[in-house]
Amino acid sequence: MSSEASEQETFTRICLLGTGSFGNVLKVKSSKTNEVVAVKVFNRTTTKRESAMREFKTMRRLTHVNVVSALKFYEGKDKFYLLMELCEHNSLKELMTVRLTFTDTEAKFFMRDVLNGLIYLHAEGVVHRDVKLANLLLDLHLNVKSPSSSGTQNVV
């Protein structure tokens, strides 16, 4: 991400976290605050401004320990940038590849977080349409977080 995203703040790309039909999700570091965050990069050629802004506004209003938070939205010449909280431990899918199995206690812990996040999203009129291990992220404290922007639909 370059200075085209914002005149006040630039970001240094650390690594690619994932890809999708929308574009890429990157791990970046702010030159202004040194904060490390995730950024979802949309191409203007494939994403309308209204869609990207709607996703940001939906994420911004959702505040729950089991839902990824939106931080900022920037518009560049060719791209839109949605800055989000970074989930340092990637996804449940990646953890499953390393661990292969979970104890009953661990499974209950993770399932409780998944259900709490989904219940919250539904209560807020948001339906997650792509629940899978790869879309269930883990923060620094191993809380499971649903990226509210991944395959969601507002129903209210």
Q: What is the pLDDT averaged over residues 125-136?
A: 89
* Predicted local distance difference test score (pLDDT) of residue 6: 45
* Residue 19 binned pLDDT confidence (cut-offs 50, 70, 90): confident
Q: Is the pTM of this model over 0.75?
A: yes
CA distance 84 to 54: 14
Which CATH number covers residue 119? Answer: 1.10.510.10
Q: At 117, give phi and psi (nearest 5°).
A: -65, -45
Whether residues 80 and 98 share a domain: the answer is no
Query: Catalytic annotation on 130?
Result: yes
Which residue in 78, 113, 130, 139 is the catalytic one?
Answer: 130
Averaged pLDDT of the chain: 88
- Pick the last residue of a domain from 29, 54, 84: 84
* Predicted local distance difference test score (pLDDT) of residue 155: 52
- Pick the last residue of a domain from 61, 84, 107: 84
* pLDDT at residue 99 is higher than 70: yes
* Residue 27 binned pLDDT confidence (cut-offs 50, 70, 90): very high
Which CATH number covers residue 47? Answer: 3.30.200.20
Whether residues 102 and 136 share a domain: the answer is yes
* pLDDT at residue 148 is higher than 90: no
Name which of 7-21, 48-62, 69-83 the model is least confident about: 7-21
